[in-house]
Structure 1
């Protein structure tokens, strides 16, 4: 039931220009754009180097310029959306994610693992809108949410430990599990119940229930969760009503993946 863990890879002979370009692109994202002097200061590079990279990225249409400020272009949006649409899980789950959001009125997250982090593949927002800072494509830690723990629980212990070695157990809130033994104990419980819970571990005032999405051989390919404000996620709803709805949606998604002809 293992998933291929794509941990951070280190090239033997990395191309320095690409590493610098990545630093500049990341800076533009973090700073929401900026002037050459701002970006150079952020990445600790000479302004001349930053200027050359920005103008090359502009030529390639990955960057736009307004006045003396540079910003990332919408070309990234097109590439990201095409990548997402090529992923089998997204195609199999997108309709169900939106339907579940409408049915529950809550926040639905579809997550996959990549490089030891969780990636939001899809997000559905119900009628009871929650101000959620994440968008599809954002990365998150796996240990502090129901959807992330649902993935971790179906990975071999060696893979889980490699993820924890690389990314740690940083506290998102005072409720976040930051102890390895406690996390491993919880993952064992999740495997028994086939359900994971987040009781304000990811964000204060937010609770969620999640479960894995697997292939017929029990290989985990992602997870789905329902999240909502703590005052709406009382024990009865969180532990009985919502898990039933979650399982129904996951059953549909798994049928779409494992038996595509039933669509």
Structure 2
């Protein structure tokens, strides 16, 4: 029987299925032999896991290769719309993208990672690492910082202990004391910045969504440095984002 990092027993077969799914996610599609090579699980064992996942609709077989099935999309879509105020948030993110002409993103914290629930692109919006469902380290994004700023110090320490503060770009804050100091500033001012800490050349500003005294997520606007630069972010975008989040909180609180 396997154990997690706290010593709690886990189910080895489930861990193997997760490893198989992860390989298919990374490779797109693969044969039994390829999955076996990447997971260090026997071909017979891999085949049994793939067959079981196929029966449940989580894996699809095409000739001699396997890929992930759209059953995951069904589950993900359902989860997205069970989030409080999801339709209101989606609509406001679209409005925000149109108002700023940049990319607007709504992010939540899922255990120790941030996850993108909604992403809308304005007329000048640029490509980013984020897509619906994308999981990132909280410390590398403006949204992650502003969400962490609303948590207790004990919870923040637990997350940092679990995932660390790995460098994503040369601008990522990797020193614990420096990062905690930044969270203090974010908590005081009510918003956070990402100055090329996730993708070099891109700047983001994020504001926490706290409709009833408990943080739900964060709304952010992302754009290239030459358009978002300022002190340090264009004041018009700052004012627009703060105004949108305030209105969104009121709509969710009274919905």
Pairing 1:54–2:53 present: no
Instruction: Choose 14-23 or 92-101, whichever is displaced more.
Output: 14-23
**TM-score normalized with structure 2 length:** 0.94
Partner in structure 1 of residue 251 of structure 2 = 256
Partner in structure 1 of residue 111 of structure 2 = 115
- Give the deviation of 1:212 after TM superposition: 0.6
- Give the deviation of 1:10 after TM superposition: 6.5
- Counterpart of 2:215 (choices 220, 223, 230) is 220
Partner in structure 2 of residue 230 of structure 1 = 225
Partner in structure 1 of residue 101 of structure 2 = 105
Pairing 1:28–2:24 present: yes
Q: Which runs of 5+ in 2 are unaligned?
A: none
**TM-score normalized with structure 1 length:** 0.91
SS of the equivalent of 2:203 reads: strand
Q: Which has the higher contact order (CA 8 A, sep 6+)?
A: 1
Alignment length, in residue pairs?
Answer: 252
Distance in 2, Cα, partners of 1:147 & 1:188: 15
Q: Which runs of 5+ in 1 are unaligned?
A: 1-7
Q: Would you say the 8 A contact 2:105–2:119 is kept in 1?
A: yes
- Give the deviation of 1:94 after TM superposition: 0.6
1:1-263 paired onto structure 2 within 5 Å: 12-217=8-213, 219-235=214-230, 238-260=233-255
Distance in 2, Cα, partners of 1:216 & 1:75: 34
**In the superposition, relative to structure 1, how do residues 166 and 242 fare at CA in structure 2: closer, same or farther (>3 Å)?**
same
RMSD: 1.7
**In the superposition, relative to structure 1, how do residues 13 and 93 fare at CA in structure 2: closer, same or farther (>3 Å)?**
same
Question: Stretches of 4+ moved more than 3 A in 1?
Answer: 8-13
Distance in 2, Cα, partners of 1:237 & 1:91: 31
SS of the equivalent of 2:140 reads: coil
Q: Would you say the 8 A contact 2:195–2:203 is kept in 1?
A: yes
Partner in structure 2 of residue 5 of structure 1 = none
